[in-house]
A and B are shown apart, each in its own frame.
Chain A
Amino acid sequence: MITLDALTRKYGSFTAVDGVTFTARPGRVTGFLGPNGAGKSTTLRVLVGLTAPTSGSATVLGRRYAELPNPGREVGVLLDASAQHAGRTGREILTVAQRTMGLPSSRVEEMLHRVGLTDAEAGRRVRNYSLGMRQRLGIATALIGDPQVLALDEPANGLDPAGIRWMRDLLRDFADAGGTVLLSSHLLHEIEVIADDLVVIGHGRIVAQGTKSDLLQAAGTLVRSAAHHELARALGGAGIAWSPGSAGALHVEAAPTVVGEVALAAGVALSELRHADGAGLEEMFLELTAETQRDETQPDETQSDESRREGAAA
């Protein structure tokens, strides 16, 4: 269990983390989602005591991280897989962690095997590792102490599709066994497939949080029917808001079950009925990203006109 309470970190007048409050619970994967520079990494560094908070608190398993007698045995942390001495071999880096935590030396080989690093790879120096191999080594370092909590910063970066799948299964199994997983990412889809709970952060502030299903539900339902005019009338009659989607689809602000019942009552045959699959979440995420992004995402005319005017004014 990880609990952050009104955590704030300022750098001069810049607030990198602004009153962040959330709980990552046991048995669940909590996705910590936000664009680059939103404050995810700073939050995680404050959690493990590498950065001091300006105010607020962070606890792991009910205690401040620094109060854990042997932190590696309780919390597996991976902040940056590339932050390792380039001249050390992978096996040696694991051995250093194993010795610090006071574990039997057999754990090193176990972990190498578990993360799929071969004997030859483990004997190579980390400077010759690909980012994917570094991530695997970082995961091994996080897991070697058999912790109950994992806090990982962008662990899927640099992994190939098979590696991402492997990571996903590993984290799922860890959570299913009762562990707490806090996983940060700037990729919505990556988080969507694995997380049970979502915490979305932008400009240091939490902009949305809840279970994934709740957040997806908030995004509404997509429904398609040949008789979409009738369906729209029926929805209107039931007091449910809708908006026209593409190619005769309707975007309805209600759960699919409700829409299905309305359609049945109105005698309208449907050709498609499903969750609007995080469309709302994606919209929100893109908005967050847009302000910090260098490349315009689908510039729409009025918007780019506006920004041009703003640019001229400035």
Chain B
Amino acid sequence: MSAVTVDRPAVPARSTTHAPIPMGRIIGVELRKMFDTRSGFWMLASIGIASLLATAAVIAFAPDREQTYATFATAIGFPMAVILPMIAVLSVTSEWSQRSGLTTFTLVPHRGRIVLAKGIGAVAVGVVSMLLAMGIGAIGNIVGTAISGVDTVWNTSVPDLGYIVLANVLGLLVGFMLGVLLRSSAGAIVAYFVFSFVLPTISGLLATGQQWYADLRPWVDFNYAQSTLFNGPPTGEQWANLGVASAIWLVAPLLVGLWLLMRSEVK
């Protein structure tokens, strides 16, 4: 009995070696992915819009003697502290919530590289956004004081601005950490608001009632330690506080999240 198999002639496989994907390209792609969706676009736009609105509000409502650069910088800082972490959260969680990770982690089968690229991209976005916001604040300070006819006051030094940028990058990294840890957009966003608005309140109440906690608080309350960055150069001890609080609330959960993310199944 003869087999009716029609064997196709064996075609020799093409032997081409492809260059590995460079890290810079992955970062570029991940940056693009943060803003190429409708929600991403509005996140980006809201950085500019919120900065302009905050600046306009200071010009319109702040008393003349408070029209200083510090006031502008603070006003713009508030929306930034919310928007930047959201960008970081969504850049990670959308791979799971939107399931685009099936393609992402197939094209680059090294999850660590993708997550690192997302982290670098998010920090870059954070720094650039803060510089942009500070620029808008500076213009607001010049325009606002001109309108009110008062002297333009530059009462925030460049190092102080640097601390504010650092504080916002830390906030952004908290969003990033929660994204990595929870891998769900809704979960990570809710967790971020609990982390930055509910926890500090509880911590504050506890510190009022319990002296032992009031002493311990700078070391274990991340938001408390982070807030010192907004009030001029931190002391050596405050840096140590920030380091310990970051290790507890940022580094440790990020490592756990990374460990889980590397082992999880992408479906």
Contacts and interface: CB of A to CB of B under 8 A. Distances in A.
Given A26-B10, A99-B25, A176-B8, A72 B107 contact: yes
Interface stretch (B13-21, B167-175, B223-231): B13-21
Nearest to A211: B5
A87 B107 contact: no
Contact of B17 (A69, A176, A213, A217): A69
Contact of B19 (A48, A69, A71): A69
Interface in A28-49: 28, 45, 48-49
A125 B1 contact: no
A163 to B, nearest CB: 21
B106 A100 contact: no
A88 interface: yes
A231 interface: no
B1 A69 contact: no
Contact of B14 (A84, A100, A148): A148
Given A69-B20, A96-B29, A100-B25, A26 B109 contact: no
Interface in A41-100: 45, 48-52, 61, 65-66, 68-74, 77, 79-80, 82-88, 92-93, 96-97, 99-100
Contacts of A79: 102, 106
B5 A96 contact: no
A276 to B, nearest CB: 14
Given A27-B11, A70-B20, A141-B103, A96 B33 contact: yes
B100 interface: yes
Given A61-B13, A196-B8, A82 B99 contact: yes
Interface in A148-199: 148, 175-178, 196
Contacts of B33: 85, 96
Given A82-B99, A87-B39, A96-B32, A66 B110 contact: yes
Contacts, number: 132
Given A80-B102, A85-B94, A178 B37 contact: no
A198 to B, nearest CB: 12
Binding site of B, secondary structure by majority: helix, strand, loop or mixed?
Answer: loop
A51 B9 CA distance: 34
Nearest to B94: A85
Interface in A80-132: 80, 82-88, 92-93, 96-97, 99-102, 125
A1 B12 CA distance: 11
Nearest to A27: B8
Contact of A88 (B20, B25, B37, B102): B37
A262 interface: no
B265 A255 contact: no
Contacts of B102: 50, 79-80, 83
**Which of A85, A87, A88 is most buried by chain B, counting CB atoms within 10 A of its CB?**
A85
A99 B28 contact: yes
Interface string B91-111: 000100011111101111110
Nearest to B97: A85
Contacts of B20: 69-70
Nearest to B12: A178
Interface residues of B, number: 47
B215 interface: no
A83 B3 contact: no
Nearest to A138: B103
A230 interface: no
B162 to A, nearest CB: 33
B6 interface: yes
A211 B18 CA distance: 32
Contacts of B12: 178
A71 B263 CA distance: 20
A196 B19 CA distance: 33
Contacts of A213: 3-6
Contact of B109 (A65, A82, A125, A141): A65
A305 interface: no
8 contacts: A26-B13, A45-B267, A70-B19, A99-B29, A178-B14, A213-B5, A255-B4, A258-B1
Interface of A: 1, 26-28, 45, 48-52, 61, 65-66, 68-74, 77, 79-80, 82-88, 92-93, 96-97, 99-102, 125, 141, 148, 175-178, 196, 211, 213-214, 217, 254-255, 257-258
